[in-house]
Structures are given as structure tokens and as C-alpha cells.
Amino acid sequence: MSNDLTITRGFPAELRSDVAVLYDAAFGPKLAIAIPDSARRLKILEAAIDPAYSFVALSGQKVLGVAGFKTPSGAFTSGIRPQLLRERLGLLGALRATLILALFERELSPRELLMDGISVSPGARGGGVGTKLLEELKLFAAREGFRTIRLDVINTNDGARRLYERLGFIPTKTSHFRYLQWLLGFSAATTLEYGIQPAA
């Protein structure tokens, strides 16, 4: 792992584009179902992401990782709203994107923090950056009084699932999407939850 790695809540405006590119490197294929044009998708992400709902891993000014999250007050990607989509994609493109993105929408239970995507730069993977981001998120969730951290991992992503389980996330349910596999590219996803110990 990089010696000068720092984890910060949020990021400065000048790193917005780098963070969007990193997020798109991991979640672009999924978002492409809704927004196929990669240049427009990146611009939408750049405009929509909310730093307040993220932790980033920095080596100097280089972004090595980002972990987005969702709470009852907002989410990393909640800025991807119909109006922004209409401005960038036109009426039909926005309609298509809104309908497809609704399939990915997940509701929150009270005092639950939901992961809204974690991505580590391909060259830095396997070096502990993802672990550090998740550990920081756990500390944050505990400080803020959340009871659980929830995330979903698709059935083809064994590596990420191993990491979550190593960090104490427990599988709670698996959802099957057999009839949507042609659209989503995966046929099942497992929900994992991390239970936060209340402070003594």
C-alpha cells in the first residue's frame, strides 16, 4: 500500500472529475444499461456525485479509491435526478435512464447506512485500500449512531464478497433476477450486513 495514503471524508472540487472516472471504472457497465454513452455518463456523474456522502483514499492528489454511501439525509449518487438527465440526455434518453435506474433503487431502514458503491483504482487493488475505506466507513457509521451497514454484491463478484465477509459483513439474503439477466448482466445479488456495536 502507498505510504502516504490518507482517507478523507469527501474531496475537493478539483478532484470531482477523477472521482467520477474512478466510480465509472467500477460501475460504468451497470450504469451503461441506463446511460449507454460513456462521455455523457461521466459528465452526469461528475455533476451529480455528492462528496459529503463519500470517503476517498488519496495518495497526494491522486485518487486511489472511493466509497459512496446513502443515509436518510442523502446519497453519493442521489444527484442523478430526472431534471439533470433531461438536460443531458433529452426527454427520451432521460425517460429510459429514469426507468432503468429505478430498478437499482434501494430503500433504507431506520438507522441503516447503505453502501452506494466502492471502487479502487485497478493499479491499487489488492493493496489494502478497499479495506481502509470500509474500516473508515464503519467508524463513521458508529460515530453517527447507525446500527447497520448494508450492501449488495452481485453473484459474479466473488472477490468483493470475500473482502466484505473478511471485514465482518454477514450475508442476509440473496435476490434472484432470472428474468432480468438479459438486461442487468447478472442473475442474483446477495445482501450483506455489518452490525455496529453500540458505544459502551
Ligand X SMILES: CC(C)(COP(=O)(O)OP(=O)(O)OC[C@H]1O[C@@H](n2cnc3c(N)ncnc32)[C@H](O)[C@@H]1OP(=O)(O)O)[C@@H](O)C(=O)NCCC(=O)NCCS
Binding site for ligand X (CB under 6 A): 26, 118-120, 125-131, 153, 157, 159-160, 162-163, 166
Q: How far is the CB of 10 from ligand X (least distance, A)?
A: 18
Burial class (CB in 10 A: 0-12, 13-18, 19+), 80: buried
When the beta carbons of 142 and 160 are compared against ligand X, the nearer one is 160
Residues 6+ apart with CB under 8 A from 49: 16, 19, 20, 23, 68, 76, 77, 79
Q: Which three cell numbers stand for residue 75?
A: 446519497
Residue ranges in 54-191 assigned as alpha helix (H): 82-104, 129-143, 158-166, 181-184
92 vs 118: CA distance, rounded Å:
30
When the beta carbons of 94 and 120 are compared against ligand X, the nearer one is 120
**CB of 108 within 8 A of CB of 72?**
yes
Q: How far is the CB of 191 from ligand X (least distance, A)?
A: 11
When the beta carbons of 36 and 122 are compared against ligand X, the nearer one is 122
Give the residue nearest to ligand X (CB).
Answer: 130
Q: How far is the CB of 15 from ligand X (least distance, A)?
A: 17
Q: How far is the CB of 164 from ligand X (least distance, A)?
A: 8
When the beta carbons of 96 and 125 are compared against ligand X, the nearer one is 125
Q: Which three cell numbers stand for residue 86?
A: 433531461
Q: How far is the CB of 86 from ligand X (least distance, A)?
A: 29
When the beta carbons of 30 and 147 are compared against ligand X, the nearer one is 30
